[in-house]
Amino acid sequence: MMLTAPINQCICCGSTELILQKILWPALVDEWQLSTQETEYIDRQQGLRCGRCGANLRTMALAFAIGRCYGYQGIFERFVRKFTNRRLRVLEINEAGGLTQYLSRLPRHVIARYPDLDMMSMPYSDGSFDLVVHSDTLEHVPNPIDALKECYRILSPRGYCAFTVPVIVDRMTLSRTGLPPSYHGNSEERANDFAVQTEYGCDAWKHLVLAGFKECRLISLEFPSALAFVGVR
């Protein structure tokens, strides 16, 4: 597989201090039936982090995607300072990795967490937000299309739903219904909210279309380790 050039700077804060550590454990690698190359790029996606702000690579991919939605390609720390962006109504579903420390600086930022929030039935009015953000959450939702329909409903016209999911780029999306339980988090974690409901592949974009989004974008910060998806209302 052809890999794009690796990043050398944190997209969130601008630091060049990047630290890589292994995240996947053998049982999860076996459950996913990952090849050596797939293991390496998923480890990089989850385990490469900034030594200054702590954001990992998937968080940086999400920050990069959000910036591009608004025509911005600089450091995300500066994005949240811009006057026009400070007017954005933002819903963050669960902590989006290391992005919370930046999104929370926006005056109209709201964070909602499981189990207080059910993504498949959110307590917000139609058109309540300009931007909905979630990171590595959708794969744990029993019906991810219903969750994305709710994201669509609560967005304003031309609003954005920006998110990441772990993607095995050379596979198709697979529901784990009827398969043995598989969990993300760590090797000891068996809580229900860490159970994987959907293993996402190269057709992950279809869930956005099936949820009602007429435009969906795939944003690549570093392929195949750092991908983010955007649905446009």
DSSP codes joined into one string, 119-177: TTS----TT-EEEEEEES-GGGSSSHHHHHHHHHHHEEEEEEEEEE--B-TTS--EE-T
> What six digits make up the tokens of 8?
């050398």
Q: What is the mean pLDDT of residues 167-182?
A: 90
Q: What is the mean pLDDT of residues 116-138?
A: 98
Q: What is the largest CA-CA distance in the chain?
A: 49
**Alpha helix positions (H), 48-156:** 57-69, 76-79, 100-103, 144-154
Tens of pLDDT, residues 2-59: 578 899 999 999 999 999 999 999 988 998 899 999 999 999 999 999 999 999 999 9
**Residue 122: its pLDDT value, please?**
98
Q: How far apart are CA 94 and CA 11, in angstroms?
A: 21
CB of 10 closer than 8 Å to CB of 60: yes
Q: Which of 62, 96, 70 is nearest to 218 (CA)?
A: 62
**Residue 190: its pLDDT value, please?**
58
Report which residue type is found at 112.
A
Determine, yes or no, domain membership for 203: yes
At residue 116's C-alpha, the angle toward residues 105 and 93, to 5°, is 40
Determine, yes or no, domain membership for 13: no
Average pLDDT over all residues of the chain: 94
**Residue 3: its pLDDT value, please?**
77
Determine, yes or no, domain membership for 2: no
Determine, yes or no, domain membership for 114: yes
Is residue 189 over pLDDT 60? no
Is residue 196 over pLDDT 60? yes
Report which residue type is found at 165.
V
| Domain span holding position 126 | 18-232
Q: What is the mean pLDDT of residues 148-165?
A: 98
**pTM score:** 0.94
Determine, yes or no, domain membership for 9: no
How many domains, the chain?
1
Query: Is the model more confident about 145 or about 32?
Result: 145
**Residue 185: its pLDDT value, please?**
64
CB of 194 closer than 8 Å to CB of 161: no
CATH number reported for the structural domain that contains residue 197 in this entry: 3.40.50
**Residue 179: its pLDDT value, please?**
80
Angle at which helix 36-47 crosses helix 57-69, to 10 degrees, equals 70
Pairing of strands 215-222, 226-232: antiparallel
Determine, yes or no, domain membership for 1: no
Determine, yes or no, domain membership for 8: no
Determine, yes or no, domain membership for 65: yes
Query: Is the model more confident about 95 or about 178?
Result: 95
Q: Which of 37, 56, 34 is nearest to 46 (CA)?
A: 56
Q: Which of 60, 67, 144, 72 is nearest to 97 (CA)?
A: 60
